[in-house]
Chains A and B, each alone.
Chain A
């Protein structure tokens, strides 16, 4: 892949020079970045990461999955409809590409574009702001193009076979432009934010924004088909409204439609123009106005860690308040001092570690967004009388993610403390840590979920909510007991990748089985109420078991 990208870059040399970059430096930076991505697991491109010798096999695997899944979606949407009603399926196709690109950008791009590890290495060298910024955009775009291509390859073939090579080519170009457009939108956002937010706060703000955006994009993708009544849209030609010009996937769809039907009225000309001009105008705009002080802003990101004397008193005061609260909670839920320490430790780190928040909160947000979006879906799962059960257990999968992240930290090296401290029962640490997670994240999450479900499906579902919550805790503990046990925040991200797939598969199968048993119980009068004590008891037993974890069962990172 590296070779192909560099070959392509060489072809575009004059473009980069026109944009004001030093091509030699840009090429060197991109080459080194790709080389490092291939070697280290992609920490920055998190979920693609895996330890591998010299090839990025995990990313390739992701691409294959995208090709298959994207292909199935494209086939089902684009293969049958008549050319007159193809506009809406095409819109969905491009919306799908954009949503996935945006997701990748938001969860992974920020760490690449704001990567401060370059500060010490590249900033002291004679590299201009623009060159470094462009190099980063090229680096991330190469991944995005790969994603966009793998998602659209089947669609392109379908369109080409049905409507000719020109239509296929246009579809391909539009897919790539979708990726460019997403790069533009996220980038504008980051650069504008870098410009107006105080430097120390930047990362914190970006972190929360990423979480919100991740949920919004996901929700938007879920919502788009519902803006237009889907049955109708799939069978009828669409009347174009003015607000259609504001929806980027529609530009792309309109542009492809000009060749497919073929049609060239003012509406389609506007779509075509928007689709072709906006991505490039965006790139030009970014390059022209927003990158000038990029490196300067970048170098100031690191400064947030400076101790600030003036605020020490204030910080101490709030800490005292905060810790009093945490102490009280840990007093209620833990049994000995080691467990209490782990509880407070986990509570604090999970509030402050950006990576943890970034990996966990969007997942929980998705969980909620998904449930809400699904429940509105007419004529399908949403209105069926066991949907709320599905939702409750489905949310369990998202909950697992948090537990999975608990052992990961960038500061994993600090875990020497577990080795040097005289800890006899490491199970106490594990249990305290897990309890903090349950109290802090999972309970509020389930609370929100159950408020929604009780509101929508009636207050009498309270027994189901309680049982599902207890069952989810049981599942969480079983997952913790079954998987390799690590001390909290003691391993690098990569160390966990290996057994991940098998584990999540197992968890979803068991969740399904438990969910169906729960459904069975709802058919028996008071069956659910009767089951709750058993579930709670199981939870209790498993927790005792987890607490007994000895050193032999723990793997140190």
Chain B
């Protein structure tokens, strides 16, 4: 049922890339941990209202790119600007206007969702009564209103993920960075969150989305960027990428990141188990 958006999204994506100002801009972005290079020169230009799917194998540098963009890792080389501001010098101003949902469900789980969201809201210097109202409404929409005042230690991964999503969006950011935002969610919540992402983009928000689940990326992204070993190896709409190989994104991904022949590896795996 999300397919109708795809064709529409393609058009808006292409149009916006030509006409609107860029929201995220990376030029020759490089970053190493110690002597290990992680990003080897990323060039990227994202304009408003796009949903960008940022994919790559484990250790390709996805999370590092996102951490640089949200201002958590200032010791990189090259330039990175978000909303027209340099990440190195204006990270606080950028942080006020972006939202980030990390991948590993990190939250203070001894708090209740309300307390946690109040705390996060205070860090953004939002008005406390406004946070409260907003948080309650959002929790209700995620069907967590019964749990609003229960400590999150007992929450399932999906419930935590919902709280995490709300905490990343509470201050109504202009740019949203999502790292595996669907992990742990049940099927209904997945549909809801995908729809939210789409409508956020329709409202002019820019979404930078990192995931390993290829068919979701395929369906919700206006533009797909594949990185491997710290370099961009493919960039375009799904339709554009399909020109290179008209199959699923999963197969395209495998081909581009050099992991073809998984069937053979699987056979070898079974064979080794038997020994």
Pairwise interchain contact B74-A121, C-beta atoms closer than 8 A: no
Pairwise interchain contact A32-B108, C-beta atoms closer than 8 A: yes
Q: How far is the CA of A128 from the CA of B110 in the complex (A)?
A: 24
Pairwise interchain contact B95-A32, C-beta atoms closer than 8 A: no
Pairwise interchain contact A124-B115, C-beta atoms closer than 8 A: no
Whether a CB of chain B sits under 8 angstroms from the CB of A39 is yes
Task: Please give me the residue from chain A that is nearest to B97 by CB atom.
Answer: A126
Task: List, in ascending order, chain B residues with CB within 8 A of A35's CB.
Answer: 110-111, 115
Whether a CB of chain B sits under 8 angstroms from the CB of A247 is no
Task: List, in ascending order, chain B residues with CB within 8 A of A310's CB.
Answer: 35-36
Whether a CB of chain B sits under 8 angstroms from the CB of A379 is no
How many B residues face the partner with a CB closer than 8 A? 33
Pairwise interchain contact A32-B59, C-beta atoms closer than 8 A: no
Binary per-residue interface labels of chain A (279-301) against chain B in the complex, 1 for a CB within 8 Å, 0 otherwise = 00000000000000000100110
Task: Please give me the residue from chain A that is nearest to B122 by CB atom.
Answer: A28
**CB < 8 Å neighbour of B110 from A36, A122, A199:** A36
**CB < 8 Å neighbour of A39 from B33, B75, B104, B110:** B110
Q: Dominant SS at the B interface? A: loop
Q: How far is the CA of A414 from the CA of B8 in the complex (A)?
A: 47
Q: B152 to nearest A CB, angstroms? A: 11
**CB < 8 Å neighbour of A309 from B36, B102, B104:** B36
Whether a CB of chain B sits under 8 angstroms from the CB of A419 is no
Task: List, in ascending order, chain B residues with CB within 8 A of A39's CB.
Answer: 110-111, 151
Whether a CB of chain B sits under 8 angstroms from the CB of A423 is no
Pairwise interchain contact B125-A121, C-beta atoms closer than 8 A: no
Task: Please give me the residue from chain A that is nearest to B95 by CB atom.
Answer: A126
**CB < 8 Å neighbour of B67 from A36, A117, A128, A299:** A299
Task: Please give me the residue from chain A that is nearest to B151 by CB atom.
Answer: A39
Whether a CB of chain B sits under 8 angstroms from the CB of A127 is yes
Whether a CB of chain A sits under 8 angstroms from the CB of B270 is no
Which residues, 237 to 285 on A, are CB-close (under 8 Å) to B? none
Task: Please give me the residue from chain B that is nearest to A37 by CB atom.
Answer: B110
Whether a CB of chain B sits under 8 angstroms from the CB of A123 is yes
**CB < 8 Å neighbour of B124 from A123, A126, A303:** A126
Pairwise interchain contact A121-B106, C-beta atoms closer than 8 A: yes
**CB < 8 Å neighbour of A308 from B36, B71, B93, B124:** B36
**CB < 8 Å neighbour of A307 from B59, B111, B122:** B59
Q: A2 to nearest B CB, angstroms? A: 13
**CB < 8 Å neighbour of B108 from A121, A299, A306:** A121
Q: A122 to nearest B CB, angstroms? A: 7
Q: How far is the CA of A29 from the CA of B73 in the complex (A)?
A: 22
Q: How far is the CA of A40 from the CA of B109 in the complex (A)?
A: 10
Whether a CB of chain B sits under 8 angstroms from the CB of A385 is no
Binary per-residue interface labels of chain A (184-203) against chain B in the complex, 1 for a CB within 8 Å, 0 otherwise = 00000000000000111000
Pairwise interchain contact B122-A24, C-beta atoms closer than 8 A: yes
Task: List, in ascending order, chain B residues with CB within 8 A of A300's CB.
Answer: 33, 73, 75
A120-B104 CB under 8 A given contacts A25-B125, A36-B110, A309-B36: yes
Which residues, 232 to 270 on B, are CB-close (under 8 Å) to A? none
**CB < 8 Å neighbour of A123 from B33, B38, B72, B119:** B72
Task: List, in ascending order, chain A residues with CB within 8 A of B125's CB.
Answer: 22, 24-25
Pairwise interchain contact B36-A121, C-beta atoms closer than 8 A: no
Q: Dominant SS at the A interface? A: helix
Q: A24 to nearest B CB, angstroms? A: 6
Binary per-residue interface labels of chain A (15-36) against chain B in the complex, 1 for a CB within 8 Å, 0 otherwise = 0000000101101110110011
A299-B72 CB under 8 A given contacts A25-B122, A39-B151, A125-B120: yes
Task: Please give me the residue from chain A that is nearest to B106 by CB atom.
Answer: A120
Q: How far is the CA of A75 from the CA of B166 in the complex (A)?
A: 56
Which residues, 87 to 105 on B, are CB-close (under 8 Å) to A? 92-93, 95-96, 100, 102, 104
Whether a CB of chain A sits under 8 angstroms from the CB of B114 is no
Q: B230 to nearest A CB, angstroms? A: 12
Pairwise interchain contact A200-B34, C-beta atoms closer than 8 A: yes
Whether a CB of chain B sits under 8 angstroms from the CB of A478 is no
**CB < 8 Å neighbour of A125 from B73, B95, B151:** B95
Whether a CB of chain A sits under 8 angstroms from the CB of B80 is no
Binary per-residue interface labels of chain B (163-184) against chain A in the complex, 1 for a CB within 8 Å, 0 otherwise = 0000000000000000000000
Pairwise interchain contact B95-A117, C-beta atoms closer than 8 A: no
Whether a CB of chain B sits under 8 angstroms from the CB of A334 is no
Q: How far is the CA of A31 from the CA of B119 in the complex (A)?
A: 9
Pairwise interchain contact B111-A36, C-beta atoms closer than 8 A: yes
Which residues, 24 to 64 on A, are CB-close (under 8 Å) to B? 24-25, 27-29, 31-32, 35-36, 39-40
Known pairs A28-B122, A126-B124. 10 more at Cβ < 8 A? A27-B122, A121-B108, A124-B71, A124-B102, A125-B95, A126-B93, A296-B74, A303-B33, A306-B59, A307-B59
A-B contact list, 21 entries, CB within 8 Å: A25-B125, A28-B122, A36-B111, A40-B110, A119-B72, A120-B106, A121-B106, A121-B108, A125-B120, A126-B92, A127-B95, A199-B33, A200-B34, A296-B73, A296-B74, A299-B73, A306-B33, A306-B36, A306-B38, A309-B36, A310-B36
Residues of B that sit less than 8 Å from A by CB = 33-36, 38, 59, 67, 70-75, 92-93, 95-96, 100, 102, 104, 106-108, 110-111, 115, 119-120, 122-125, 151
